[in-house]
């Protein structure tokens, strides 16, 4: 394996507001997520530099922290609904997070809930799977700071068939991590977001 993975010039397979997602050039089972706008630029204000540094660092730590906690609880209802985190990796676009690539039954990148419901309603079977996924989310102690329809993906699992996964949004986004300290706040955020997403996918 190369010391630094070269991603510049490669076509991303997906992207979000914070990160760009590439297929791992040396392992098609993995994706690499890199942050946009994290590299220090000469013209940035002091505030912007501090803000970028804080969001960059806290972004990685939040997700990895919650993932470690999930792995330490093999009874968690969310086990099996979160793609594997493989590790941190050096890329020419900065530090990347290598994760398991979720796919459909043909091996293509899995669709997120937004893409899935853009042109059609969910079938009854998928609606039931989504409800099961939401139930697992609420039951789990895992902190979720960003539950939105682009962070939920429908992917194929060899033994279990199609099911929903949370690909992003682990950990508390607020400066004082109240969801981490308070179960009521943690649960009520999830329930509120589930209601909003539920209404949205029903059109
Ligand atoms: N493990 C994965 N397997 C398949 N697709 C994925 C995976 N992780 C992310 N994706 C796809 O890539 C998109 C962007 O990834 P991600 O949500 O991690 O980026 P982000 O910039 O952190 O998101 P946000 O806009 O919520 O801040 C997701 O909406 C999803 O469609
Ligand atoms: Mg996202």
Structure confidence by residue, pLDDT tens digits, 76-112: 999 999 999 999 999 999 999 999 999 999 999 999 9
Segment 155-160 shows an average pLDDT of 95
Q: pLDDT class for 175, splitting at 50, 70, 90?
A: confident
The predicted structure's pLDDT at residue 41: 67
Residue 67 neighbours by CB under 8 Å, 6+ apart? 82, 85, 170
Pocket test for ligand 1, best of 13, 15, 16, 84 (most atoms within 8 A of CB): 16
Sorted by where each begins, the domain ranges of the chain are 14-201
For residue 149 and ligand 1, the question of a CB distance below 6 A is answered with no
Per-residue pLDDT, averaged over 147-158, amounts to 97
Percent of the chain with pLDDT strictly greater than 90: 79
Q: For residue 51, what pLDDT is reported?
A: 81
- Note the ligand closest to the C-alpha atom of 35: 1
Residue 55 has what pLDDT? 82
Rounded to whole angstroms, what are the CA distances from 15 to 11, 24, 36, 50? 11, 14, 10, 24
pLDDT of residue 40: 63
pLDDT beyond 70 at 1: no
C-alpha separations of 175 from 88, 142, 183 in Å: 24, 18, 17
Q: Which two tokens stand for residue 95?
A: 């530090």
What is the pLDDT of the chain when averaged over all its residues? 92
Q: Which of 11, 17, 19, 156 to mutate to test the pocket of ligand 1 (most atoms within 8 A of CB)?
A: 19
Q: Give the C-alpha separation, 22 to 28, whole Å.
A: 10
Record the pTM. Answer: 0.94
Q: Pocket of ligand 1, candidates 109, 148, 150: which has the most ligand atoms within 8 Å of its Cβ, to mutate?
A: 150
201 Cα–ligand 1 center, Å: 18
167 C-beta closer than 6 A to ligand 1: yes
Residue having the nearest C-alpha atom to atom 8 of ligand 1: 167
**Residue 186 banded pLDDT, cuts 50, 70, 90:** very high
What is the reported pLDDT for 50?
82
The C-alpha atoms of residue 37 and residue 86 are separated, in whole angstroms, by 23
pLDDT at 7: 96
Say how many Å lie between the CA of residue 192 and the centre of ligand 2: 18
Mean pLDDT (whole number) for 169-197: 94
Please work out whether the CB of residue 113 comes within 6 Å of at least one atom of ligand 1: no
pLDDT, one tens digit per residue, over 34-60 is 998 766 666 778 888 888 888 888 889
Task: Please name which ligand lies nearest the alpha carbon of 29.
Answer: 1
pLDDT of residue 9: 94
Cβ pair 149, 197 in contact under 8 A: yes
């Amino acid at each position: 394996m190369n010391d630094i993975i070269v991603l510049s010039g490669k076509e991303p397979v997906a992207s979000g507001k914070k990160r760009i997602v590439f297929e791992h050039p040396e392992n098609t089972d993995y994706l690499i997520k890199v942050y946009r706008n994290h590299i220090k630029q000469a013209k940035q204000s002091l505030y912007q530099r501090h803000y970028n540094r804080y969001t960059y660092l806290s972004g990685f730590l939040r997700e990895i922290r919650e993932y470690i906690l999930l792995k330490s609880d093999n009874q968690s209802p969310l086990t099996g609904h979160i793609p594997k985190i493989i590790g941190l990796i050096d890329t020419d676009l900065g530090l990347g997070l290598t994760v398991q690539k979720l796919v459909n039954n043909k091996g293509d990148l899995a669709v997120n809930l937004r893409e899935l419901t853009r042109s059609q309603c969910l079938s009854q079977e998928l609606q039931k799977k989504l409800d099961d996924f939401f139930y697992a989310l609420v039951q789990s102690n895992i902190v979720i700071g960003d539950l939105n329809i682009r962070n939920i993906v429908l992917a194929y699992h060899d033994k279990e068939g199609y099911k929903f996964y949370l690909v992003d949004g682990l950990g508390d986004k607020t400066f004082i991590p109240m969801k981490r300290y308070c179960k009521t706040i943690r649960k009520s955020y999830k329930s509120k977001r589930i209601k909003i997403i539920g209404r949205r996918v029903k059109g």
